[in-house]
A and B are shown apart, each in its own frame.
Chain A
Amino acid sequence: MKLITDFRNSELSLRLIRKIEDESVSECNYSIMEVCGTHTVSIFKYGIRSVLPENVELISGPGCPVCVTSQGEIDAIFRIVNNNDISLLTFGDLMKVTGSNGENLIDLRSEGKDIRVLLSPLDAVKTAAREPDRQFVFVGIGFETTAPAIASALLEAKKMGISNFSILPYCKTMPEVLGCLLDDPKLDIKGFLCPGHVSVVTGKKIFQPLAQRGRAAVITGFEPLDILSSLLHIIRQVNSGDYCVYNNYSRVVDNAGNEKAVQIMNTVFKPSPAFWRGLGELDGSGLGLKEEFSAFNSLEKFNVKVPRINEKKGCRCGDVLKGYIRPNLCPLYGKQCTPENPVGPCMVSSEGACAAYYKFN
């Protein structure tokens, strides 16, 4: 399909790499954060770091929902699974995440727990409708890209009068975490590759504070030409000091976002405090269920508390997520922590910085 293959043109990629070399000023350190986990994977897959000048540095950010889910929220999943009357429905990304006691969903499933992997939250509602005598809990993780889909599933469940379905409301939103990164004096980020599919829903406006605070911000797709041309746009914004939010993914992202998706999301969810791995609690950065949907909250329905738990000893996922360190500087990386036996979630999720670093280095 030309909408994809045209953006993989190698000759044009080479020309962009040369332009990046030419236009990056040697005295300037261009530290650029790719916020989205899918960008992290694309950047590794296409070997983009290896073709950039030394002073154009890409830092992975907190844009993998599995990775930023707090240990307490993960442990609450295992508390739910302990109840044999409940079947757990989840995206596949969570299957290898480990609880505080070292347990994971793959092992628990092989021990007989009813844990099912689904591709869509709508399938979760259909499953619950097919088996009305069992309780089903869907792990509702994701950013603004995924939250409207989970909200749609809840609207559908409500419309169908399904009472044996509920969700763990773990969705998180981007603006607050971006603000947190900008406020961090230890991070000196010059520009952001803004997440393409979050932007489909939110549009440009959530990234305006980045430009207002003197950072380059470019909404970016996932092919090599998308990423390389966005890096060149960022370098040009930094060099000129003229900062704006540039939509470099307009074949998919409307500047105004998808208002219908936002409306669906806002019908079901409301801003709430959320606890992020490595970043702590951020006000208004989570999506809690509105009062009229509280019957769909698994935590309330089954009286499960989300424990306040620190990260595992030695695991530096938090520092990786904040861009303080590269994955290989964590003492557990490649030794106790590998994709086969992950300790922290950044090694679990295929979009985690540690897993991508391990696979492609």
Chain B
Amino acid sequence: MCLGLPGKIVEKDEFSAVVDIGGNKREVSLMMLPEEVQTGDYVMVHVGFAISKMDPEEAKKTLETIMEIADEIDY
């Protein structure tokens, strides 16, 4: 039920946007998003609402941390 689908914004106006979710276009409300978004940004979509703007920089940092913890040598 708490399933979120990441989608890329392809069109937007003040309150809503069209997002591409795996090739399917869907209209979503932006009224719940605290931050500004632009065409090309990725958002997490839940039951017709964008609930979070996805952050590629944070994704990179998490991946780097994962690589670090996977490679640490035990002493």
Chain A interface (Cβ < 8 Å from any Cβ of B): 1-4, 6-7, 12, 15-16, 19, 22-23, 36-38, 63-66, 91, 93, 119-123, 141-143, 145-146, 148-149, 152, 195-198, 200-201, 225, 229, 232-233, 248-254, 258-261, 264, 349, 351
Contacts and interface: CB of A to CB of B under 8 A. Distances in A.
Interface of B: 1-4, 6, 8, 29, 31-34, 42, 44, 46-49, 51-52, 54-56, 58-59, 61-63, 65-67, 69-72, 74
A37 B54 contact: no
A145 B61 contact: no
A123 B27 CA distance: 11
Contact of B33 (A65, A66, A260): A260
Query: Chain B interface mostly helix, strand, loop or mixed?
Result: mixed
A43 to B, nearest CB: 14
Q: Interface residues of A: mostly helix, strand, loop or mixed? A: helix
B69 to A, nearest CB: 6
A200 B62 CA distance: 16
A149 B42 contact: no
A149 to B, nearest CB: 5
A36 B3 CA distance: 10
Contacts of B52: 200, 252-254, 258
Contact of A6 (B32, B44, B63): B63
B20 to A, nearest CB: 10
B1 A146 contact: yes
Given A64-B1, A123-B48, A197-B2, A248 B62 contact: yes
Nearest to B4: A197
Given A66-B1, A143-B1, A149-B46, A3 B62 contact: no
Sorted nearest first, the 5 A-B pairs with minimum C-beta distance are: A120-B48, A251-B59, A15-B70, A145-B2, A250-B58
A117 to B, nearest CB: 12
B71 to A, nearest CB: 7
Given A3-B6, A146-B46, A261-B32, 7 more contacts: A2-B56, A143-B2, A148-B49, A149-B49, A200-B44, A229-B66, A349-B1
